[in-house]
């Protein structure tokens, strides 16, 4: 269709008679029935550039467009005409004025009126190109006398200049000016649009909340400009890790958020969180200085942990809080008991203050053994707390609480004085090592505290070892050097703990006066695995320590296969359960009273790194019956369950581990009421030192079974989900045995 043909289609509306006939009108007035004059007006309109005219056929192909419009695209009319409109134009998801998620194709297929729809000319263009063209489309659907759709007739105009201005204004309003990441407003808007859409489509969406550890220290010591430079580098590193898997936002300060659509695999989420923590923990070069920070991550997944933005973000925030307060540099998944844990930590902190004030803590001593003759040459002092109501409280729980409240300085001072006093009554050939936190080390009074402990106890300074981690180097370098100098002047020994788990250990050895290196347990745990390099790393650390004339202690040896490997790698000093766990001071004195303190190694032949001894009730599902069982051991690949008699080897079961975790497994061992099972899909790290299933039962499935669509209550599964194949109720095949103590 030519221009005149198109214009006639707009102007011809039955010209046999005119309501204006016989009227006395001024010269130059164009009557609606004057087709030629009307065509001239429309042609003048097109030439003036105020707008363009266009038309499509019933199939959505462009059949007419103003000549000036094709000129603005740099294309010949033959390249454009005849193409489908969706080939030529697309809606912009970042349109600041158009919040609809409906694409251009959908709006055309609706065959309804189009008013000021912003589209981007897309033919042969990339949305990443510097120069793009945006048009505003308006159109009316045309129907024939029979009511059939004939196509669109409409107008368009170039709005590129004003649209780019709006995009810039929108970007300033929705993106962080420092890092270029989305800001809190945009991230909230994205979740507000994503979550309802995903709930309707029965899809999942994960949210990660990130907080930088020790960022305030960088600001305080290097200045706010250095802090800004560090935040930019953090944003770059996050981009390289996350890539196109999700959208990253900076919510303010050192708080970040990542939205990961269509993700509920806790295995891959945990791996991503670990990689983020690892990458963000590497040193940052800033104006000739090096800053080292860390990161903690909390993870929540819709719909399991919330089906509203506020609920999902709150769940991720709570998981982040627990991660930070569990020692930092960790990730946590949200679980329904986290609220209880937060309150429990607050109560535990008050109890810890009271225990310290009442001298209710004690030190236990783990021997360091010389493998040549199995003689004990020293001890590491480890803090123990026997709570009057809770029983034994793990240091892994109360030490992070102490660090959070700065109570760690008082605890550290107490441990120093107690260890020196008790070591002073041991043979002079034995040393005692005391752990020192980074907060304690940066206390200006720390050298004075060490001196007081030595003086008051009468302990020879060279018998006291202070165990430090790389985190002590994250303070001001000048004050760190001064503290090292003061401690060496006292005559104490310094040991670098957890060696090899950080990123800059060699530079620390070059600059700090260490006397001993301690090989981290993580290398020992995997030293017998042929596909890893842990044994070679242990050998390299031992060789390095020998070259630097330092002692080296290998920690965490528990089994004979590990002992054989580390001895082969050159280890001479070992600390681990294969020799002894930490002993109370009375037990140490009793062993020493018999003369020489020698310990023969005793432990399992081989080490199983992923087995965890547990004791809790679970559900065991077989066909359409759910039995009660007790979980005794749990590993990535299997478990030991007590409580069922008559279960044949080869039986397929489903273990209900709670919180929506159903693990399909096969019985591989059966003896009396104890069965061993192998999982169809291995479990994954839950971020808290435990294991969890990759996926959970979707509440959508529960809704289909008649339950409300909400976060899954722990261990609540309708029997409709596990009906037998014939749909009937069968008789139970196994005998349920009650387990004492559960």
The neighbour count for residue 284, using CB atoms within 10 Å, is 19
Rank 321-330, 455-464, 500-509 by mean pLDDT and report only the highest. 455-464
Report residue 581 CA to chain centroid gap. 34
Its sign, for the CA torsion 707, 709, 710, 716, is: positive
* CATH code of the domain containing 213: 3.30.70.270
- Report the share of the chain in percent with pLDDT over 90: 40
Give whichever of 49-63, 371-385, 489-503, 676-690 has the largest mean pLDDT: 371-385
Q: Indicate the number of domains in the chain.
A: 4
Is the model's pLDDT at 15 over the cut of 50? no
The model's confidence at residue 711, banded by pLDDT at 50, 70 and 90, is very low
Between 295 and 727, the more confident residue is 295
Candidate from 72-86, 487-501, 717-731 with smallest mean pLDDT: 717-731
Look at residue 181 in the predicted model and tell me its pLDDT.
94
Say how many residues make up the chain. Answer: 742
User: What tens digit of pLDDT does each residue of 579-624 get?
Assistant: 999 999 999 998 888 777 899 999 888 876 655 666 688 889 888 7
For 155, the 3-state DSSP assignment is strand
Using the predicted structure, report yes or no on whether residue 726 has a pLDDT greater than 50: no
Rounded CA separation 699/321 (Å) = 26
Question: In this structure, what CATH number is given to the domain that contains residue 125?
Answer: 3.30.450.20
pLDDT over 50 (residue 538)? yes
- The whole-angstrom separation of Cα 298 and Cα 711 is 17
Reduced 3-state DSSP string for 279-291: HHCCCEEECCEEE
Is the pLDDT higher at 708 or at 67? 67
Output the CA torsion 75→77→78→83 (10° steps).
90
715 or 423: which leads in pLDDT: 423
Residue 474 lies in a domain: yes
* Per-residue pLDDT at 493: 95
Compute the Cα dihedral for 591, 592, 595, 597 and give only its sign: positive
Is the pLDDT higher at 498 or at 693?
693
Domain extent for 280? 175-336
Q: What is the mean pLDDT of residues 436-443?
A: 88
Beta strands in 318-463 (DSSP E): 331-333, 361-370, 375-387, 391-393, 431-435
Question: Average pLDDT, stretch 477-492?
Answer: 89
Burial per residue of 199-219, b for 16 or more beta-carbon CB atoms within 10 angstroms, e otherwise: beeebbbbbbbbbbbbbebbb
259 occurs within a structural domain: yes
Relative to beta strand 375-387, strand 391-393 is: antiparallel
Structure confidence by residue, pLDDT tens digits, 367-385: 999 999 999 999 999 999 9
Structural domain ending residue among the three candidates 140, 167, 194? 167
Q: Does 213 have pLDDT greater than 60?
A: yes
> Quick one: which of 190, 176, 329 has its CA closest to 251?
176
Whether 536 and 430 share a structural domain:
yes
Q: Of the residues 167, 194, 212, which one is the last residue of a structural domain?
A: 167
| The pLDDT of residue 100 | 45
In a domain, 3, yes or no: no
> Which range has highest mean pLDDT (234-248, 323-337, 688-702)?
234-248
Residue 14 resides in a domain: no
pLDDT number for residue 131: 60
pLDDT score of 259 more than 70:
yes
Give the CA radius of gyration of the chain.
Answer: 36
| Poorest-pLDDT segment among 268-282, 478-492, 496-510, 595-609 | 496-510
Indicate whether 133 and 226 sit together in one domain. Answer: no
Domain boundary residue among 336, 371, 393? 336
Output the average pLDDT for the chain.
83
C-beta separation of 402 from 413 below 8 A:
no
The CA distance from 77 to 636, in Å, is 64
Please, what sign has the CA dihedral across residues 724, 728, 733, 737?
positive
486 or 5, which is more confident: 486
Burial string for 459-486 (b: 16+ CB within 10 Å, else e) reads bebebbbbbbbbbbbbbeeeebeebbee
pLDDT at 101: 44
| Per-residue pLDDT at 218 exceeds 80 | yes
Q: Are 450 and 535 within one domain? A: yes
**Could you tell me which residues are beta bridge partners of residue 517?**
496, 552
632 falls within a domain:
yes
Residue with the bigger pLDDT between 685 and 242: it is 242
Picking from 410, 453, 411, the residue whose alpha carbon sits closest to that of residue 432 is 453
Q: Please tell me the least confidently modeled range out of 396-400, 564-568, 640-644.
A: 396-400
Query: Which comes out higher in pLDDT, residue 248 or 306?
Result: 248
Per-residue pLDDT, 173:
74
236 and 201 assigned to the same domain: yes
The sign one gets for the Cα dihedral 408, 413, 414, 418 is positive
| Dihedral, CA of residue 450, residue 454, residue 455 and residue 461, to nearest 10 | -110
Is the pLDDT reported for residue 697 higher than 90?
Answer: no
Q: Is the pLDDT of residue 715 over 50?
A: no
The CATH number of residue 648's host domain is: 2.40.10
Q: Averaging pLDDT over each range in 371-380, 436-445, 527-536, which range is the top one? A: 371-380
Shared domain for 569 and 644, answered yes or no, is: no
Query: DSSP of 57-125, one letter per residue?
Result: -TTSBEEEE-HHHHHHHT--HHHHTTSBHHHHEEE-TT-SS------HHHHHHTT--EEEEEEEE-TT-
CATH of residue 558: 3.20.20.450
- Distance in angstroms (rounded) separating the CA atoms of residues 250 and 239: 12
The pLDDT tens digits for 135-189 are 888 999 999 888 899 999 999 988 888 888 887 776 677 889 899 999 998 999 9
Q: Report H helices in 243-291.
A: 266-280
Residue 48 scores a pLDDT above 90: no
**Alpha-carbon distance 583 to 531, whole Å?**
35
Helix, strand or coil, per DSSP, at residue 685 = strand
φ, ψ at 548 (rounded to 5°)? -90, 5
8 Å CB contact between 463 and 431: yes
512 and 459 together in one domain = yes
Q: Report residue 290's pLDDT band, with 50, 70 and 90 as the boundaries.
A: confident
The pTM score is: 0.61
Instruction: Report yes or no on 26 lying in a domain.
Output: no
Pair 487, 398 in one domain: yes
Strands 516-519 and 551-555: parallel
Mean per-residue pLDDT, 49-62: 87
Average pLDDT over residues 187-215: 89
pLDDT above 50: residue 713: no
What H or E segment, with its residue span, contains residue 150? strand 149-158
The answer to whether residues 518 and 560 belong to one domain is yes
Residues 731 and 620 placed together within one structural domain of the fold? yes
Each residue of 91-128: b (16+ CB within 10 Å) or e? Answer: bbeebbeeeeeeebeebbeeeeebeebbbbbbeeeeee
Burial of 740 (0-12, 13-18, 19+ CB in 10 A): exposed
Residue 24 belongs to a domain = no
Domain co-membership, 468 together with 504? yes
Pairing state of beta strands 134-143 and 149-158? antiparallel
Q: Is 661 helix (H, G, I), strand (E, B) or coil?
A: strand
The pLDDT of residue 134 is 86
Verify that 252 and 312 share a domain, yes or no. yes
pLDDT band, very low/low/confident/very high, at 465 (cuts 50, 70, 90):
very high
Q: Measure the CA–CA gap between 579 and 166, rounded to whole angstroms.
A: 71
Q: Where does the pLDDT of residue 18 fall: very low under 50, low under 70, confident under 90, or very high at 90 and above? A: low
Q: Are 527 and 384 part of one and the same domain?
A: yes
Q: pLDDT tens digit string along 325-336?
A: 777 788 999 987
The pLDDT score that the predictor gives to residue 581 is 93
Rounded to whole angstroms, the Cα distance separating 523 from 80 reads 64
Q: Which residue has the higher pLDDT, 705 or 409?
A: 409
Cα(697)–Cα(719) distance, rounded to whole angstroms?
13
438 occurs within a structural domain: yes
What pLDDT, on the 0 to 100 scale, is given for residue 66? 86
């Amino acid at each position: 269709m030519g221009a005149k043909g198109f214009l006639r289609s707009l102007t011809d509306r039955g010209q046999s008679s005119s309501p204006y006939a016989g009227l006395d009108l001024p010269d130059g007035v164009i009557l609606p029935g004057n087709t030629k004059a009307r065509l001239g007006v429309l042609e003048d309109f097109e030439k003036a550039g105020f707008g363009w005219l266009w038309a499509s056929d019933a199939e959505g192909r462009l059949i007419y467009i103003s000549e000036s419009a094709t000129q603005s695209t740099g294309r010949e009319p033959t390249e454009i005409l005849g193409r489908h409109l969706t080939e030529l134009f697309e809606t912009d998801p970042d349109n600041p004025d158009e919040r609809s998620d409906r694409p251009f194709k959908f709006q055309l297929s609706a065959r309804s009126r189009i008013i000021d729809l912003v589209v981007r000319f897309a033919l042969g263009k990339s949305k990443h190109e510097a120069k793009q063209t945006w048009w505003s489309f308006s159109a009316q659907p045309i129907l024939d006398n029979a009511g059939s759709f004939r196509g669109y007739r409409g107008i368009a105009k170039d709005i590129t200049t004003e649209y780019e201005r709006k995009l810039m204004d929108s970007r300033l309003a929705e993106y962080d000016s420092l890092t270029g990441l989305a800001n809190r407003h945009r991230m909230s808007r994205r979740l507000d649009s994503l979550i309802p859409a995903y709930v309707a489509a029965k899809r999942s969406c994960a949210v990660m909340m990130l907080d930088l550890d020790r960022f305030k220290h960088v600001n305080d010591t290097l200045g706010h400009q250095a802090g800004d430079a560090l935040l930019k580098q953090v944003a770059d590193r996050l981009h390289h890790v996350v890539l196109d898997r999700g959208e990253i936002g900076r919510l303010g300060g050192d708080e970040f958020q990542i939205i990961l659509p269509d993700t509920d695999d806790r295995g891959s989420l945990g791996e991503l969180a670990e990689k983020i923590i690892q990458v963000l923990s590497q040193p940052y070069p800033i104006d000739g200085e090096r800053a080292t920070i860390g990161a903690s991550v909390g993870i929540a997944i819709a719909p399991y942990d919330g089906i509203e933005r506020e609920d999902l973000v709150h769940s991720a925030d709570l998981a982040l809080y627990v991660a930070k307060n569990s020692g930092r540099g960790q990730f946590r998944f949200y679980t329904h008991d986290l609220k209880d844990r937060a309150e429990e930590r607050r109560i535990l902190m008050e109890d810890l203050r009271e225990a310290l004030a009442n001298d209710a803590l004690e030190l236990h001593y783990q021997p360091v053994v010389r493998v040549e003759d199995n003689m004990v040459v020293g001890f590491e002092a480890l803090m123990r707390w026997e709570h009057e109501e809770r029983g034994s409280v793990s240091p892994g729980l109360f030490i992070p609480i102490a660090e959070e409240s700065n109570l760690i300085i008082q605890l550290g001072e107490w441990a120093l004085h107690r260890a020196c006093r008790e070591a002073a009554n041991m043979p002079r050939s034995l040393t005692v090592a005391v752990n020192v936190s980074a907060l304690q080390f940066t206390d200006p009074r720390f050298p004075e505290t060490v001196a007081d402990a030595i003086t008051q106890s009468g302990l020879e300074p060279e018998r006291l070892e202070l165990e430090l981690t790389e985190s002590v180097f994250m303070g001001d370098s000048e004050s760190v050097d001064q503290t090292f100098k003061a401690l060496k002047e006292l005559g104490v020994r310094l040991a670098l703990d957890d060696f090899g788990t950080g990123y800059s250990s060699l530079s620390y050895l070059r600059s700090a006066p260490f006397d001993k290196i301690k090989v981290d347990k993580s290398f020992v745990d995997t030293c017998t695995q042929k596909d890893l390099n842990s044994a070679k790393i242990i050998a390299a650390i031992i060789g390095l320590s020998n070259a630097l004339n330092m002692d080296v202690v290998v920690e965490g040896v528990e089994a004979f296969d590990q002992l054989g490997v580390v001895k082969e790698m050159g280890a001479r000093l070992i600390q681990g359960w294969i020799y002894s766990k930490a002993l109370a001071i009375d037990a140490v004195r009793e062993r020493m009273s018999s003369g020489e303190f020698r310990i023969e190694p005793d432990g399992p032949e081989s080490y199983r790194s992923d087995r965890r001894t547990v004791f809790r009730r679970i559900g065991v599902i077989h066909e359409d019956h759910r039995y009660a069982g007790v979980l005794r051991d749990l590993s990535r690949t299997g478990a030991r369950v007590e409580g069922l008699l008559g279960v044949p080897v080869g039986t397929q079961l489903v273990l209900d581990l709670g919180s929506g975790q159903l693990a399909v497994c096969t019985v591989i061992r059966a003896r009396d009421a104890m069965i061993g099972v192998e999982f169809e899909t291995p479990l994954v790290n839950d971020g808290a030192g435990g294991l969890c299933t990759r996926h959970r039962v979707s509440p959508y499935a529960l809704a289909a079974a008649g339950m409300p669509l909400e976060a899954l209550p722990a261990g609540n599964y309708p029997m409709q989900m596990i009906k037998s194949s014939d749909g009937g109720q069968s008789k139970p095949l196994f005998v349920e045995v009650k387990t004492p103590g559960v």
